[in-house]
Structure 1
Amino acid sequence: MSKYQFEQIVFNSTKKKKPIQEDKYTYLGLEHLDPGSLEVTRYGTDVAPIGEKLIMKEGDVLFGKRRAYQKKVAIAPFDGIFSAHGMVLRPKEEVIDKNFFPLFVSSDYFLDAAIKISVGSLSPTINWRDLKRLEFELPEMDKQRELAKVLWSIDATKKSYQKLLQKTDELVKSQFIEMFGELEQNQKGWGLTTLGQCCELNPKRPRDIDDNTLVSFVAMPSVSANGQIDTTIVKSYGEVKKGYTYFAENDVLFAKITPCMENGKGAIAKGLSSGIGTGSTEFHVLRPLDGVSNPYWLYIITMFESFRKNARKVMTGTGGQLRVPISFLSEYPISLPPIELQNKFAAFVQQSNKSKFELEQVLAELTATYRKIISENLG
């Protein structure tokens, strides 16, 4: 193992350009990068981005220096432009193997060290002058090549399981359309109403909850983009009854702030302590109405890409504080199916969730193996 300063390992490309209209097709922002994945699956914007952007080349490693705690690292899939809130990095191949390089930059070993030097409170960022002086230990070149082969093999296997998960989600949405028709349309003849008529939005908290009652506390990181929710953090109601969003068992959580909304964060609140939850104020809450709506029907509506795209169009606020107004949910046009049909659909979703759970268990094991190899060979 040899020790190097970061600037001895990488080239930090700072070349920029002012975007023209054609650049909107090959623009990558931090919102296009997914934590834990080096692959870019979304890109482009409706209009040319404003302000100078970094020039990227296919194969460059892109690192989100703003809010680095989100751990966004990706490989540029084409020549284009990248957010000025990131860095465009290239390997110095006399020190680091080009195939090992993106695995190193995306490792907790590197990212945890980089996060520690972030400056600022609201939108912490990393300065190159500080980052370039950080020191890292690297294995010898032969070992790097060996590690790259093993780690990329694990990554490929993970992608295969992730595709199966994606197909399961697509199957659920296809079943939704088959049973209920397309969103915002009256294809089944039930007529159109609004989402606000199908559920209770942001319900008021009851006044009779005892302060000593143990309730689940759900921060934004506790909700995933694939419907998972961590309810294991428990606090007394008195600690969290003010300044947080209230919800209850079977309510649907919808992340209203960018980029969480665009990334698909949301879930059905299940397994809450005492059947009660409080959490981030950046959630809208959709409560199903007895005999009218099922939580699984409501949740899947919010997970359609078309729903999220329409929500994006009406966000209000500035910069990184854009939010979906409650009026979007209350006025959203929807065809309300019979509750019996919704319940039948819910059973289908629950069965699909069982299959997803098994796939996710395998993915978790692969991820654990990947991280173990990294931790044993770096630092």
Structure 2
Amino acid sequence: MLKKGKGKFRFVGMIMKTTQLKNIGKFQSGGTPSKKVESYFGGNIPWITTVALNGKIIDQSNATDWLTEKGVNKSATKIVPPYSLMIGTRVGVGKVAVNKVSMCTNQDIISIVDINTEDWDIDYLRYFIKASAPYLNKQARGATIQGIKLEVLQNLKLPLISVEEQKRVALILQKVNLVIDNRKTQLNALDDLIKSRFVELFGDPVKNTMNWQVCKLGDLSVQINSGNTPKGGEQVYVDKGITFFRSQNVWKGRLEMEDIAYIDKETHGNMKRSSLKHGDILMTKTGRINTENSSLGRAALYLGEDDTANVNGHVYFIRLKPEINNEFVLKILVSKEYLGYIRSVCVGGIDKRQLNKNHIEDFPIICPPKDMQNKFIEFVQQVEKLKVKVKNSLDETQVLFDSLMLKYFD
């Protein structure tokens, strides 16, 4: 087992020699051609930013853009030869990938090229950088955009072990990583199964391709309101008390509790109007709309006890009439089609949009027969049970992977 001792690595009782990352190859920076010159783009040379650094082997399919030879020659970017180590040093510090084909990078990526394959296994190095990412992030500096200096990366110490041992370690990690990827694929497939079943039964919920009766969400609801931000903001939060949901807690179909806040009973009592009931749908009121996980219009179901939680001013709660299937309505609201609809009706600037109460009240909701809705939700519940099993297996495998990374690199 690898452990640190007085700046050196050791294997169970024996001193492990180390070397610095700067000794494994040549360090090469990237650059970005001017976007104002059209002739720099549209060529056949793949160019990437840190978005493409996915911890794996990448190729031209991961390209952020395509450059011409002129674009490469007239900018600071350089051709990175195949099987180099690409590392994010800014806007994605510690992210890593290995390129399968020649490509270029922007200035936020440092590539290590001309690695001696007789001494170093590229996959081992890739896992070493992944294990070093937390340390690299701690070294990041900057007021608006944080990054690390080249020396921080170059001075990283790594175990000096035989290439055969490196390959053995990398193979073990790859096998466990493959299981993790398979579990994630299973989860995505189960999500796709629910989506395809919905479309099969009900069609497009916005275009209403099956001509179902349509009702406004306001007519299906008892109450639709946003909460309030207590006077004093974060100063009034307490360690334990009434659960207080903010926009960062409301995601697509789920509530995230990791960054949850709490308020005391007195503050909650002054905000009775937004006290939550079991089964309320929560929806984010403001945010960006230009990303996959857009913060505007995300929705999830509150399943806690009545009057033991509240929401701030950036979250709406939608309390449906007792006879309305809230799980079915939620599935409509979090569908891909509805995300497009929400983007079409919200107001505000490019960076921050808002849903007003009247927008939500006017949301068109298809209303198929109740027995069809109920059968679909029963199907969803069965699939969710399978997802829990797969998720538990994924978590266990991730723990194994993390423990192996600590064993080999900490």
Match of 2:128 in 1: 104
Match of 2:149 in 1: 127
Query: What does 1:136-215 align with in structure 2 at a 5 Å threshold?
Result: 136-137=158-159, 139-190=161-212, 203-205=226-228, 214-215=241-242
Bigger CA drift: 216-225 or 13-22?
216-225
Q: CA deviation at 1:311?
A: 6.7
Match of 1:375 in 2: 406
Match of 2:233 in 1: none
Aligned 8 A contact 2:58 2:100 in 1: yes
Match of 1:22 in 2: 42
> Is 1:336 aligned with 2:351?
no
> What is the DSSP-based 3-state SS (H/G/I as helix, E as strand, rest coil) of the residue aligned with 1:100?
helix
Counterpart-to-counterpart distance in 2, 1:278 and 1:345? 30
CA 1:165–1:278 in structure 2 vs 1: closer, same or farther (change >3 Å)? same
Match of 2:385 in 1: 354
CA 1:149–1:196 in structure 2 vs 1: closer, same or farther (change >3 Å)? farther
> Is 1:7 aligned with 2:22?
yes
Q: CA deviation at 1:323?
A: 3.7
> Is 1:85 aligned with 2:108?
yes
CA 1:106–1:11 in structure 2 vs 1: closer, same or farther (change >3 Å)? farther
Letter in 2 for 1:116: K
Aligned 8 A contact 1:201 1:285 in 2: yes
**Structure 2 unmatched ranges of 5 or more:** 1-15, 231-235
Counterpart-to-counterpart distance in 1, 2:25 and 2:157? 12
Aligned 8 A contact 1:240 1:278 in 2: no
TM-score, normalized by length of structure 1? 0.72
Letter in 2 for 1:105: I
> Is 1:289 aligned with 2:313?
no
**Structure 1 unmatched ranges of 5 or more:** none
Deviations 1:273-326 (A, max 9, x none): 8642558x8x754635325865544544455455556777989767xxx34432
> What is the DSSP-based 3-state SS (H/G/I as helix, E as strand, rest coil) of the residue aligned with 1:235?
strand
Aligned 8 A contact 2:18 2:159 in 1: yes
Counterpart-to-counterpart distance in 2, 1:46 and 1:302? 33
Counterpart-to-counterpart distance in 2, 1:227 and 1:140? 47
Counterpart-to-counterpart distance in 2, 1:159 and 1:365? 13
CA 1:99–1:74 in structure 2 vs 1: closer, same or farther (change >3 Å)? closer
Answer with 1 or 2: which has the greater Rg: 2
Q: CA deviation at 1:218?
A: 5.9
Aligned 8 A contact 2:214 2:365 in 1: yes
> Is 1:364 aligned with 2:395?
yes
Aligned 8 A contact 1:225 1:264 in 2: no
Letter in 2 for 1:349: V
Aligned 8 A contact 1:17 1:54 in 2: yes
Query: What does 1:227-376 align with in structure 2 at a 5 Å threshold?
Result: 227=254, 229-230=256-257, 233=260, 235-237=262-264, 248=276, 250-253=280-283, 257=287, 261-263=291-293, 268-270=300-302, 272=304, 275-276=308-309, 285=316, 287-290=318-321, 294-301=325-332, 303-305=334-336, 308=339, 322-326=351-355, 330=359, 334-338=364-368, 340=370, 341-376=372-407
Counterpart-to-counterpart distance in 2, 1:98 and 1:68? 20
Q: CA deviation at 1:344?
A: 3.9
CA 1:192–1:338 in structure 2 vs 1: closer, same or farther (change >3 Å)? closer
> What is the DSSP-based 3-state SS (H/G/I as helix, E as strand, rest coil) of the residue aligned with 1:4?
strand
> What is the DSSP-based 3-state SS (H/G/I as helix, E as strand, rest coil) of the residue aligned with 1:165?
helix
Identity across matched positions, percent: 17
CA 1:89–1:98 in structure 2 vs 1: closer, same or farther (change >3 Å)? same
Q: CA deviation at 1:150?
A: 0.8
Q: CA deviation at 1:176?
A: 1.6
Q: CA deviation at 1:119?
A: 0.8
Counterpart-to-counterpart distance in 2, 1:67 and 1:73? 12
Counterpart-to-counterpart distance in 1, 2:75 and 2:288? 22
Letter in 1 for 2:136: A
> What is the DSSP-based 3-state SS (H/G/I as helix, E as strand, rest coil) of the residue aligned with 2:366?
coil
Aligned 8 A contact 1:252 1:298 in 2: no
